[in-house]
């Protein structure tokens, strides 16, 4: 269903705010504040936040956790008809997982010039050599998302915790 631009933008901001809530949970748990939600038919069906340090798992990115939860909810690994909202441009692992999960759309906050794989360094989610591509909307609540990350890393640089 095609909806007017303003209505879609309002929904994008609403769902990105929910992803920011997830990023704040990661922050509270001492992890890099990245959050994700997956939406199907304008309803949030899955949430995730970074848990790499909490789980000692390099794959425990917000996107992966949200996709696992969404697949369980739907009962299928194919997440067709779903949109993922992420507070930072996904890395190559997460971008590849988005393609493999057959998500329809990716919405993210700021670009990640150091590790972004959805337009910054690579564009895995729209690579024509792959069997699936996602529509991308970027920059939604980007300043709010970026501030969370900047504050987190500023505090880390000024502390004795060098685990990041």
pTM of the model: 0.94
Catalytic residue among 9, 63, 89, 143: 63
Compute the distance between CA of residue 164 and CA of residue 161 in angstroms, rounded to an integer. Answer: 8
Q: Are 41 and 81 in contact (CB under 8 A)?
A: yes
pLDDT at position 163 is 67
Task: Write down the pLDDT at residue 4.
Answer: 76
Catalytic residue flag (residue 89)? no
What's the pLDDT score for residue 59?
98
Report how far residue 74's alpha carbon sits from residue 55's, in angstroms, rounded to the nearest whole number.
25
For the chain (length 164 residues), average pLDDT per consecutive 10? 80 98 97 98 98 96 98 98 98 98 98 97 97 98 98 89 66
């Amino acid at each position: 269903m095609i909806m007017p631009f303003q209505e879609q933008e309002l929904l994008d901001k609403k769902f990105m705010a929910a992803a920011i809530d997830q990023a704040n949970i990661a922050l509270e748990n001492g992890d890099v504040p990245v959050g994700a939600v997956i939406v199907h038919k304008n309803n949030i069906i899955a949430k995730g936040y970074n848990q790499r340090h909490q789980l000692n798992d390099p794959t425990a990115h917000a996107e992966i956790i949200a996709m696992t939860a969404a697949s369980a909810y739907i009962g299928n690994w194919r997440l067709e008809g779903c949109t993922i909202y992420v507070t930072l441009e996904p890395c190559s692992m997460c971008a590849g997982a988005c393609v493999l999960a057959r998500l329809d759309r990716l919405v993210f906050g700021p670009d990640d010039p150091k590790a972004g794989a959805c337009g910054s360094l690579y564009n895995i989610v729209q690579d024509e050599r792959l069997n699936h591509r996602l529509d991308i909307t970027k920059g939604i609540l980007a300043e709010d998302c970026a501030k969370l990350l900047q504050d987190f890393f500023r505090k880390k640089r000024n502390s004795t915790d060098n685990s990041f």
